[in-house]
Structure 1
Amino acid sequence: MSRRVRGISFVAATACAAMLLTSCAGGGSGSSNGNASAQTDKVSITWDMWGGDEKSEKWVKDTAEIARKQNPDIEIKTQTASWGDYFTKLTANASSGNLACVTSMNGQRLNTFYQTLSPLSEDDLRTAGINPADFTQGALDILSYDGKLYGIPYDVAAMLVYYNKDMFAETGTPEPRAQWNFDDFLAAAKSTTTDAHKGFGVGMGEFQWMALPIAKSGVQPVTKQNKLDLTNPDFLEAAQWYAKLVTEEKVADPVPSASELGWGEEQYQAGNVAMAVDGTWNAKGYFTNEAGFKAGAQRLPQGKNGSYALVLGSGFGIAANCQGAEREAALKVLGSLLSKDAQDLLASSGRSYPARTESQPLYFEALPEEIRGEVKTAFEAVFTGLTGQNSASTWQQVNEYFTPNLVSVYTGAMNISDMLASAQSQFGN
């Protein structure tokens, strides 16, 4: 989405566009990280967030207004960029130490940017008015790295198996149960595979494909010491099982090209496959799909050691370059962005599932009544006993390497064990 700039010259607007993740306003009233305004005695704090659509932009605007009302002595500015542009420009601004005081961060990308954020102490949380006990169990793991807390999540997410109830009914296949295992999953994929459609859509995104191998093995491809562990024997065996869903079991089609990044999820959304793995953030869209089928969702199957799934999400941190009075003001803004009022707004908007537990019931109330009960049941099952994600500093490069090679794996041109061994060799740290 283009960012609208008002009341400044063309030259100044061009400068703003070039520094989208830094604060820019006419008259020199703003700064990249929140300096005192030249026009008022207020400390000026900028909050950077990704957007890209009208609904997201409205949520940012309304959430910022809540923070302003709670902090009348702080000037709060907002800046947004589309999801892809946000992290590209964040990289550029991080290299110059010029981040906004309140910087939004996705948990899967923290390993790349944690050094640009300031670790949060217990005193910081008290200044922000944040009590960790108010948030979903394990949620603070989302923005933790190497034992340090770098942010507080505003939402929590987990991976689910979404399924097409109509296809299950047409083939006489029992619907998944909360305690199902991988034998049950494979049996369902085989039973729902017909001449007209496949039983499963394989993934290309990191957790769209890795969630099942992680759940099956009970092992993450990164150690708790943040070391890449792609060739761990248990994870490797589970990854081979996953690839065979296409190459041997024939319950899934290969992916046509590396450009099909949302292959499995899009096939499911279109009503072309019976099951796919995706995050809780897409639950509303799947349950109200335009293809017209009746959707269901279930937690990931249990592996030989029981249930194992990761807690995911995004949140807000304080930039390392934000110091002194600005940092204290930024902490107060951080607390307001995660306050009950702000989390209630997030839940009611249906944008995502809030991290603050007392706000979570409002998320379900915002759903259409006909799907509310089933989504609530699926969420209650999946948000139990989740584990924090381990992440290596090279994780982004690893996933970029996987994208084209997964296409070769699914066609049978490459063995997934070779793909993982090569990634471990190139990016192991």
Structure 2
Amino acid sequence: MMQGEFSRRSLLRFGLGAAVLGGPAAAMLSGCGGDDASDSSRLRVYNWGSAEEGKVYDQAFDRFEAARSGITAENNITPVTSWADYADKLAVQIAGGSPPDLINMAVEGTRLAVDKKLLMPLGPVLGEGEVAGLLEKMPASLREAFTVDGELYAVPNGWQTMVIYCNTKMFADQGIPLPSPDWTWDDFLALAKRFTGGGTFGFGMPWGFFQLHPWWLTNGAYPVSDDYRESRLTDPAFVEAVTFVHDLVRVHKVSPDPTSVDVYAQFAAGKFAMIGAGRWPIPTWKQANFADFAAVRWPKKVAHTTVFGGAGWGISPKADASLAAAAIGELVGTTTITEIAAIGQQIPVYADVLPDSGSPAGNEALKYLLSMAEDSRPVAAPVFFNDLERITMRYLERIVIGEVSPADGLKQADAELRTAIR
């Protein structure tokens, strides 16, 4: 399904990747001084995205160049399939003496990039200019995701979140109303049981570090401490949430083994009454002429808080800061954001940018996804994200297939993670 294209949606859908700048790449970067002086006539960009997104960015840089005689922007779209690969190629570029000026950075890699001094604080650069004004139009939660120790290090350019999608035809056929806005885990389980049987399941569980976050968040849990420095995998609330996920598969059997099923296609085929997702499956559903869906908030145990992730434009400390900031103004301007959002993968960073999703159901879902920024928390992305994701998902898979109990598995994962980050 990758088809050679790299997008955050693809990574999250399949649970791939490590932190940007993780592992060997981080080691290479820590030794690169980047002594080359900034070239004030050339803007080097390290970017990622699909081929369609690449064309939109090319057009944005064309507009940027047209307004500045003698300036050339090099939009380097990196064709990779994981955050680790993206990082490795960035490391090679820097080690070769060609550090980029602008970097399209995911939430997952921001803290590590800041720790490695690969991004400059943007407050002094942006001041009270055009980009600062655009930032004020973005949800505060997105800005905060790229803020470390009170300093903003990237300007958001797109994001994703998680909601529950209900198959409205399946609900209507059984005369069951859609969930109420304040539904609970118990309500969710009761509904899932009603739809399970005769070849269908109540829930198709998306499998991946990002996709599972809403279960932790709706129980008031998070895999790391609030300061992003320590593991919280054995927090009782986290263990309880993992136990609930385990029980959906192993005890109540309302969800099949989530590690090897395409829940999005099966949902459209009427095999699941509910699934969890962001905006990314909507274009595929449009192509399949499937519009029997509606988005609702995640059921709560103690809260309805969901997860979000995204990417943003950061500036290298070696860059011509004023030139790079001007480019960001074009890249997060309404024209570029509208064109990127129209492709159908990302949620736009502005509430007034609402592209046509191809169906009334898709348009309503997009509006609902936009509203989730008001009650969401960023994907847990500490400096040690690489180890956190790798270790946590390995043990979660063992737990959900029944090899180890939730409590024992998370105890082992916690011990391994603490050793890795010591």
Fold shared per TM-score above 0.5: yes
Q: Which of 381, 390, 402 pairs up with 1:400?
A: 390
Report the Cα offset of residue 241 of structure 1. Answer: 1.0
Give the corresponding residue for 2:273: 274
1:190 Cα deviation after fit: 1.0
User: Structure 1 residues 116, 291: CA separation in 2 closer, same or farther (over 3 Å shift)?
Assistant: farther
Q: Relative to structure 1, is the Cα distance of residues 377 and 253 closer, same or farther in structure 2, using a 3 angstrom cutoff?
A: same
Separation in 2 of the partners of 1:402 and 1:68? 45
Match of 1:43 in 2: 41
Structure 1 189/88 Cα, relative in aligned 2: closer, same or farther at 3 Å?
A: farther
- What is the alpha-carbon distance in structure 1 between the residues aligned to residue 49 and residue 286 of structure 2? 22
Question: Aligned residue for 2:12?
Answer: none
Deviation at 1:252, TM superposition (A): 0.8
Specify the alignment match of 1:347 in structure 2. 341
CA distances 1:235-259 after superposition (whole Å, capped 9, x unpaired): 2111111111001111011246xxx
Query: Do 2:57 and 2:331's aligned partners in 1 also have CA atoms closer than 8 Å?
Result: no
Give the deviation of 1:75 after TM superposition: 1.4
Q: What amino acid is aligned across from residue 409 of structure 2 in structure 1?
A: M
> Is the counterpart of residue 167 in structure 1 residue 170 in structure 2?
yes
Q: Number of aligned residue pairs: give it.
A: 383
Change (3 A) 1:52 1:348: closer
Aligned mates of 1:185, 1:406 — CA distance in 2: 21
Q: Is the 8 A contact 1:49 1:103 kept in 2?
A: yes
CA shift, 1:83, in A, is 4.2
- For 2:284 and 2:191, locate their aligned partners in 1 and report how far apart those are by CA, in whole Å: 19
For residues 269 and 107 of structure 1, do their structure 2 counterparts lie closer, same or farther at Cα, with a shift above 3 Å needed?
farther
Q: Secondary structure at the match of 1:383?
A: helix
Q: Which AA in structure 1 matches 2:292?
A: K
- Structure 1 residue 314, shift from structure 2 partner: 0.8
Shift of 1:140: 0.7
**Residues 240, 416 of structure 1: 8 Å contact kept:** yes
Alignment match of 1:235 (pick from 223, 238, 249): 238
State the Cα distance separating 1:411 from its structure 2 match.
2.0
**Counterpart for residue 154 of structure 1:** 157
Q: For 2:262 and 2:164, locate their aligned partners in 1 and report how far apart those are by CA, in whole Å.
A: 15
Moved more, 410-419 or 86-95: 86-95
Q: CA deviation at 1:155?
A: 1.1
Q: Using the alignment, how far apart are the partners of 1:221 and 1:97 within structure 2? A: 37
Q: Which runs of 5+ in 1 are unaligned?
A: 3-20, 22-30, 37-41
| 1:177 counterpart residue number | 180
In 1: Cα distance, 2:370 partner to 2:283 partner: 18
One of 341, 364, 378 as aligned partner of 2:368: 378
CA distance change for structure 1 residues 405 and 254 in 2, over 3 Å: closer, same or farther?
Answer: same
Write out per-residue CA displacement over residues 186-227 of structure 1, whole angstroms, 9 at most, x where no aligned residue. Answer: 122111111211111223211212322222x12221122112
Match of 2:327 among 308, 323, 333: 333
- Matched residues in 2 for 1:390 and 1:237: separation? 18
Classify 1:398/1:263 alpha carbon distance in 2 versus 1 (closer, same or farther; 3 Å).
farther
Q: Does the aligned pair in 2 maintain the 1:33–1:101 contact within 8 Å?
A: no
CA RMSD of aligned residues (A): 3.0
Secondary structure, counterpart of 1:307 in structure 2: coil
Q: Distance in 1 between matches of 2:254 and 2:233?
A: 25
Counterpart AA for 1:154: N
Write the deviation string for residues 85-115 of structure 1: whole angstroms up to 9, x where unpaired. 4333124446677531101111123233332
Based on CA coordinates, which of the two structures has the bigger radius of gyration?
1
The structure showing larger relative contact order (alpha-carbon pairs under 8 Å, at least 6 residues apart) is 2
Aligned equivalent of 1:419, options 409, 412, 415: 409
Instruction: Point out the more displaced range, 138-147 or 288-297.
Output: 288-297
SS of 1:352's partner is coil
1:79 aligns with 2:76: yes
Change (3 A) 1:336 1:254: same
Deviation of 1:44 (Å): 0.1
CA distance in 1, matches of 2:404, 2:69: 59
Give the equivalent residue in structure 1 for 2:60. 63
Contact 1:43 1:73 in 2 (8 A): yes
The amino acid that maps onto 2:43 is I
- Deviations, residues 285-328 of structure 1 (Å, cap 9, x unaligned): 36526274612211212232x32123321111012333xxx232
Does the aligned pair in 1 maintain the 2:267–2:273 contact within 8 Å?
yes
2:126 aligned partner: 125
Percentage of matched positions with identical amino acids: 21
The equivalent residue for 2:16 is none
Structure 1 position 152, deviation (Å): 0.8
Distance in 2 of aligned mates of 1:177 and 1:287: 24
- What amino acid does structure 2 have at the position aligned with 1:220? Y
Provide closer, same or farther for how the CA distance between residues 167 and 34 of structure 1 changes in structure 2, counting only shifts above 3 A.
Answer: farther
Q: Which AA in structure 1 matches 2:75?
A: T
In the TM superposition, 1:187-336 aligns within 5 A as: 187-215=190-218, 217-226=219-228, 227-255=230-258, 260=260, 263-280=262-279, 282=280, 284-285=282-283, 287-288=285-286, 290=288, 292=290, 294-304=292-302, 306-322=303-319, 326-336=320-330
**Do the aligned partners of 2:250 and 2:400 also contact (CA within 8 Å) in 1?**
yes
Alpha-carbon deviations, 1:59-103, whole Å to 9, x = none?
A: 222222233234445211111122424333124446677531101
Residue 370 (structure 1) shift: 3.0
- Taking the aligned partners of 2:66 and 2:37, their CA distance within structure 1 comes to 18
Check 1:396–1:173 CA distance in 2 against 1; reply closer, same or farther (3 A cut).
Answer: farther
Change (3 A) 1:187 1:96: farther
1:368 aligns with 2:358: yes
* C-alpha distance in 1 between matches for 2:65 and 2:345: 21
Q: Which runs of 5+ in 2 are unaligned?
A: 6-24, 26-33
